[in-house]
Amino acid sequence: MLRYFSREKTLFHLLIAGCVLRIMVFLVMNASNPDQHHEVLRFIKEFHRLPRIRELFLATHPPFYYLVALPFYWFDDPVSLKLTQLLSLLISTFNLYLIYKLHQKLVADVLVRNLAFLIAAFNPTFLAYSLYVSNDTMAFLMGTGILYLIYLYVNNPTSQTEIFLAIVTGLALLTKTTFLPFIPLVVLVVLLMRWKSSPAKADVVISLVAFVSIVFFLGSYKFIENKHYEHKFFLHNLDFFPLNHQATYKGIENFINFNLWDLITFPGEFNDDHATRYAYFLTFYATFWYKHIDFENNLNLGNYTSFKYIGSLIYIFGLLPTLTFFGGFFIKIKDSILTVWDMLWGKGFSSTGLYQVFLNAVFTLSFLAVFGAGIKYDGWSFFHGRFLGHVMVALLFIMAVGFSYLKKLSTPLFNISAYSLIIASSLHVIYFVVEAVWEVIGG
């Protein structure tokens, strides 16, 4: 099996399989998730304007996705929403292709590269949340777009790439406020690259001001609206529509509880008594590897029948790849500190090193921002694997670092972790195929 994953062409096979799986899920999965993003589209169509903050539950979201989706929704069936969902399918497949192209450039070891890409191709949370009528699918693409352009920019810092980067960063901020942690990091990369390549420091200042101006012009709409109507730049819908039933905080238990056995025993039965409701990291684990939240969509065979125990197997086989990821994460933390130290003290500048520091930093800040919001608003729904979708490239790279380290450390350990990820990904494919067939013949 590992011999197959050691082939160059395997990555392309995984790309095709991932696209085919997305098409299959698109055909059977309902377009809406519990957040009901189509209500924003309905409002725009009915009133010919964007909703103000207090008018809809999701009106605090920036509008870019809704404006792009509106032409599809205008001619769509407001119940099935399949035409609007088609946009999500197009975005999802294009995003997977961009990840495929960038992942090829970032990971030299073919075996490790192919193993890590399994997550982008088949992970159920990343796949499902890229196919809803939701701004998540656009956010996933924007995150990949920024990481792709940063890669091009640090290797060839042209003005054209810099302008494209500013535009995509601004549009990302116009898509979802989860991109706020990106902004200081992107600006810092532009500053460093300009400082390194331009002898005239005035040019550095002018370029940086132009870059920030483009980002601000494109991405600031929702923040300005917030300030105008509510006198605050940063607002969340839970500031106006609190979901009291989501309360989860119990103190230190939230941070240390990792009751994997409870998750294995009841893999798809999220309720008030389940361990994941009061365990932050367990909830991330549960919602990343499987459809743990039963009401997310109509694919319910794995929630209410014995088929749910495929989730138990996925959680078992997902554990070692998760530990491999954390190994890669801590390795890159150490490497990032050394790289920054070398750059600060003039021991050498590496575009590859800078990009890897950026990947690690953007993943870390994005995770901390979501985690912090979950604590602030005391809501279990923040601790969800979908919030890692816009940094999927960074996640794959860190996973590849973990696998590379294991490969050098111990062949048996590497093989066990590799086969665990292969089995978990195969179970993901089986899960979706069985759910799709059930929807067609008896759902």
- Render 20-86 in DSSP notation, one character per residue: HHHHHHHHHS-S--TT-THHHHHHHHHHSSPPPTTTSTTTTS-SHHHHHHHHHHHTS-TTT-HHHHH
Contact (CB, 8 A) for 422 and 15: no
* HSE of 416, CA atoms in CB hemisphere, 13 A: 12
Average pLDDT on 219-227 reads 92
The confidence score (pLDDT) of residue 199 equals 66
pLDDT digits (tens, 9 = 90+) for 263-294: 999 898 777 677 788 899 999 999 999 999 88
Burial of 393 (0-12, 13-18, 19+ CB in 10 A): buried
342, pLDDT greater than 90? no
| Whole-number pLDDT of residue 439 | 92
Q: Which of 249, 239, 246, 250 is nearest to 375 (CA)?
A: 249
- Please give the average per-residue pLDDT across 355-382, as a whole number: 93
Instruction: Give the tens place of pLDDT for each residue, 186-196.
Output: 999 999 888 88
Closest alpha carbon to 439 in 26, 36, 18, 90: 26
Provide the pLDDT confidence category of residue 425 given band limits of 50, 70 and 90.
very high
Q: Which residue has the higher pLDDT, 345 or 8?
A: 8
The pLDDT of residue 175 is above 60: yes
Is the torsion defined by CA of 88, 267, 278, 285 positive or negative?
Answer: negative
**pLDDT for the residue 287:** 95
From 293, 278, 261, select the one nearest 125 (Cα to Cα). 293
DSSP state letter for 269: -
Task: Please report, as a single letter, which amino acid is at residue 271.
Answer: N
Query: In this predicted model, what pLDDT tens digit does every residue of 30-52 receive, in sequence order?
Result: 999 988 899 999 999 999 999 98
On whether the CB atoms of residues 219 and 169 are closer than 8 A, the answer is yes
Report d(CA 391, CA 115) in Å as an integer: 18
Query: Biggest alpha carbon distance in the chain?
Result: 69
CA 240, 241, 242: angle at the middle one, nearest 5?
105
- What pTM did the predictor assign? 0.95
Q: Does pLDDT of 262 surpass 70?
A: yes
DSSP secondary structure, 322-348, as one string: HHHHHHHHHHHHHHHHHHHHHHHTTS-
pLDDT band of 348, cuts 50, 70, 90: confident
pLDDT for 244 beyond 80: no
Higher local confidence (pLDDT), 427 or 2: 427
Tokens of 111: 């075996």
Assign 304 a pLDDT band (cuts: 50, 70, 90). confident
Q: Per-residue pLDDT for 345 more than 80?
A: no
29 half-sphere exposure, CB direction, 13 A CA radius:
30
* Contact assessment for residue 129 and residue 137, using Cβ atoms and an 8 Å cutoff: yes
Is pLDDT at 443 greater than 60 in this prediction? no
